[in-house]
Structure 1
């Protein structure tokens, strides 16, 4: 499942990928929305969760922290 959230000039797209063992990998794509032709940053398997919603929430929190530390 993927979602798109806007945060401080960035598009944050957390995603949860279900793995064969039943866990969900927290993945994330971040792209600056204010710059023309910006290149997205992709982060795969930030951590693993038993629940899809927890994976999505973690990826979004991680993305906000990344954005705040790179501004």
Structure 2
């Protein structure tokens, strides 16, 4: 697992899991925080803030870990762009 990155207000955490057959599964976790009526104080999370997390396991399989991570990052950008387009 690598450090999460930020993209258009979302936190993206790609990962590559090595499988027993030597392939790497491209996995992805995308999180966002949505504030309800009360805004959080600086540096803290208020009761009015909720976090939404979606996870995708085994988006595809790769022979190289770097390719799996790159694919998960690219897939995250497409997913986020589509969510924002439909909102």
TM band (smaller chain): over 0.9
What 5-or-longer segments of structure 1 have no aligned partner?
Answer: none
User: Runs (4+) of structure 1 moved beyond 2 Å?
Assistant: none
**Normalised TM-score (structure 2):** 0.76
- Give the match for residue 56 of structure 1: 69
Question: Higher Cα Rg: structure 1 or 2?
Answer: 2
What 5-or-longer segments of structure 2 have no aligned partner?
Answer: 35-48
- Give the match for residue 27 of structure 2: 27
- Give the match for residue 67 of structure 1: 80
RMSD: 0.9
- Deviation of residue 39 (structure 1)? 2.1
Q: How many residues in Structure 1 have an aligned counterpart in Structure 2?
A: 70
**Normalised TM-score (structure 1):** 0.93
